[in-house]
Amino acid sequence: MRLSGWVENQIITGSRASQARAAIASIRPKVLLAHNQAESMADRPRTSDRT
C-alpha cells in the first residue's frame, strides 16, 4: 500500500466524518427546537391554539 493512497483515504474519511459531524450539529438544534415547541404546545391551554 502506497503512503499517498493511505493519506488520501485518511483525508476522505476525515472529511466524511466532519461532514457527518456538521450534519448532526445542524440537525440537533432543529430537533431540540421542535421538541421544545411540542412541549410548550402541550403545556399551553387548548383553547388558545384552536383558531
> How does pLDDT run across 37-49, given as a tens digit for each residue?
888 888 876 665 5
In a domain, 12, yes or no: yes
Distances (CA, A) of 5 to 11, 13, 15, 17, 48: 10, 12, 15, 18, 62
In a domain, 22, yes or no: yes
pLDDT at 51: 58
What is the pTM assigned to this prediction?
0.46
User: What is the domain extent for residue 24?
Assistant: 3-42
pLDDT at 14: 87
In a domain, 51, yes or no: no
Spell out, as residue ranges, where the chain has pLDDT lower than 70.
1, 45-51
In a domain, 24, yes or no: yes
pLDDT at 1: 56
Contact present, 41 and 49 (Cβ < 8 Å): yes
Length of the chain, please?
51
**Angle at the Cα of 14 from the Cα atoms of 11 and 18, rounded to 5 degrees:** 135
For residues 23 and 13, give the distance between their C-alpha atoms in angstroms, rounded to a whole number: 15
Total number of domains in the chain: 1
pLDDT at 3: 77
